[in-house]
């Protein structure tokens, strides 16, 4: 079986040099030289523990071009390629012999093995995830053909159909002629968590998780944005407007974009209490971060997700951490629309787009449909999120 090795160059440069010590050409050295300031580099090892250079070089280019703050894009590509290479190896196929037909069968395999080793999550693999795995494999073979790193029937086929790549509503490329390779895109309605479920989850969770759940549901921040929140950035929080009930601060959003985020003043007070009274003594390297585990380590995204799922399960809901962001978006949109109906000149959708940090308004529009579906739950959640309970 192939396996994945990841390195964070800024933190583990010595290990990066060890991984690359078998490099035989100057060209490879040059490719890896700019990676010192890149958040994550991935390498795929073959069953004999030697580096699978074609996929590793492809991932190095992804790392160089990606805007991901923590290297999530590279990791996603790497996991998709790892699944593809292991799929071929299980069937005794060399990746240079892969065809369009093999990729179609790979798509069916991933879709039909929803809880296989391809996914570490207990939840089913989404259609978009399946499509992403297939697209990564296709792009890899097309890259091999274009750069002449390697040739394959799949690469030749993909290069021939390169002009069939179009842009979706978000302005992102997708492979239109390969409809046989992809699954229909899902239009998911955002899921909100009811006020009763929120109360139970937040009340039962210990610090810092309870406080992080409050942050997520009242600011719309993602896991990464919460786990990476530092004391220095937290100290820039200031009052916003004349009422004194809302605070604002600058934060780094997904893709490395800096935007303004807003939070209730009471949440700021709760956070300061946590930092002064119950925050664990930080371990070496964890000093800059706001949220720490009881052992003084920085809270990792995976830990935050596991903690939420545990307490959500106790509250009788199958919700995941990201549904806190959905709840924030839907309830905030309801507030903004109420203000617009009362005569405010505010544009609810554009305002929510800014609050959510969406690059394109089409990503924000999905919350409009959720308002009608969750009307009663939204009204109840509004009282909880923006009332005295938080």
Residue written as token pair 């299980």? 90
pLDDT in tens, 192-236: 888 889 989 999 999 999 999 999 998 888 898 899 888 888 777
Contact 226/216 with Cβ under 8 angstroms?
A: yes
Q: What sign does the CA torsion over 88, 92, 96, 99 have? A: negative
CA distance 44 to 84: 12
DSSP per-residue codes, 309-327: HHHHHHTT----THHHHHH
Q: What is the dihedral of CA 300, 305, 306, 307, to 10 degrees?
A: 90
Where helices occur in 113-236 by DSSP H, the ranges are 127-147, 153-160, 195-204, 209-219, 223-227, 231-234
Give CA angle at 89 (87, 90), nearest 5°. Answer: 65
Contact 41/133 with Cβ under 8 angstroms?
A: no
Contact 80/133 with Cβ under 8 angstroms?
A: yes
pLDDT in tens, 114-128: 544 444 444 456 677
Structural domains of the chain sorted by starting position, each given as residue range(s) with its CATH number in brackets: 3-175 (no CATH), 195-228+236-271+303-385 (1.10.443)
Q: Which long-range contacts (CB under 8 A, 24 or more apart) does 315-322 make?
A: 315/197, 315/200, 315/201, 315/204, 316/197, 316/200, 317/193, 317/194, 317/197, 317/201, 319/191, 319/193, 319/197, 320/123, 321/216, 321/223, 322/222, 322/223
SS3 breakdown of the chain: % helix, strand, coil, rounded to 5? 55, 10, 35
CA distance 130 to 110: 6
Contact 138/145 with Cβ under 8 angstroms?
A: no
Query: Tokens at residue 214, please?
Result: 């409050």
* Number of Cβ atoms within 10 Å of the Cβ of 30: 9
Note the pLDDT of residue 242. Answer: 55
175 backbone dihedrals φ, ψ, rounded to 5°:
-95, 100
CA distance 242 to 380: 27
DSSP per-residue codes, 245-308: SEEEEEEE-GGG-EEEEEEEHHHHHHHHHIIIIIPPPPPTT-TTBS-B-TTSPBPPHHHHHHHH
Residue ranges in the chain modelled with pLDDT below 50: 22-32, 115-123, 166-179, 183, 185-186, 388-390
306 alpha-carbon distance from chain centroid: 15
DSSP per-residue codes, 31-64: HHGGGGGSS-EEEEE-TTS-B-HHHHHHHHHHHH
CA distance 254 to 7: 21
Give which of 126, 200, 190 is closest to 325, Cα–Cα. Answer: 190
Note the pLDDT of residue 23. Answer: 46
Note the pLDDT of residue 54. Answer: 93
């Amino acid at each position: 079986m192939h396996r994945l090795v990841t390195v964070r160059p800024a933190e583990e440069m010595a290990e990066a040099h060890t991984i690359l010590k078998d490099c035989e050409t100057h060209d490879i050295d040059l490719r890896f030289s700019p990676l010192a300031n890149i958040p994550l580099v991935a390498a795929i090892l073959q069953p004999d523990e030697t580096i699978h250079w074609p996929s590793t070089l492809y991932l190095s280019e992804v790392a160089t071009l990606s805007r991901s703050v923590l290297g999530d894009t590279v990791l996603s590509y790497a996991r998709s390629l790892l699944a593809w290479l292991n799929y071929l190896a299980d069937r005794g196929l060399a990746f240079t012999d892969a065809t369009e037909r093999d990729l179609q069968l790979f798509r069916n395999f991933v879709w039909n093995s929803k809880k296989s080793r391809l996914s570490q999550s207990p939840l089913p693999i989404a259609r978009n995830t399946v499509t992403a795995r297939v697209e990564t494999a296709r792009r890899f073979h097309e890259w091999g053909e274009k750069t002449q790193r390697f040739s394959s029937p799949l690469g030749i086929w993909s290069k021939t159909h390169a002009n069939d790549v179009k842009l979706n509503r978000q302005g992102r490329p997708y492979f239109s002629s390969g409809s046989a390779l992809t699954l229909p895109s899902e239009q998911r309605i955002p899921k909100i968590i009811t006020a009763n479920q929120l109360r139970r989850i937040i009340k039962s969770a210990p610090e810092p998780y309870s406080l992080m759940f409050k942050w997520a549901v009242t600011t719309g921040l993602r896991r990464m944005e919460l786990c990476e929140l530092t004391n220095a950035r937290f100290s820039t929080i200031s009052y916003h407007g004349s009422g004194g009930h809302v605070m604002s601060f600058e934060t780094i959003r997904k893709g490395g974009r800096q935007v303004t985020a807003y939070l209730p003043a009471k949440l700021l007070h709760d956070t300061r209490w946590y930092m002064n009274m119950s925050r664990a003594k930080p371990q070496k390297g964890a000093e800059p971060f706001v949220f720490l585990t009881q052992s003084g380590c920085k809270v990792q995204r995976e830990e935050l997700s596991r903690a939420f799922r545990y307490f959500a399960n106790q509250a009788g809901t199958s919700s995941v951490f990201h549904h806190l962001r959905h709840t924030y978006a839907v309830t905030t949109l309801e507030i903004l629309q109420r203000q617009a109906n009362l005569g405010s000149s505010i544009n609810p959708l554009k305002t929510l787009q800014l609050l959510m940090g969406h690059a394109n308004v089409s990503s924000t529009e999905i919350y409009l449909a959720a308002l009608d579906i969750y009307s009663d739950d939204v009204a109840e959640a509004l009282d909880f999120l923006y009332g005295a309970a938080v």
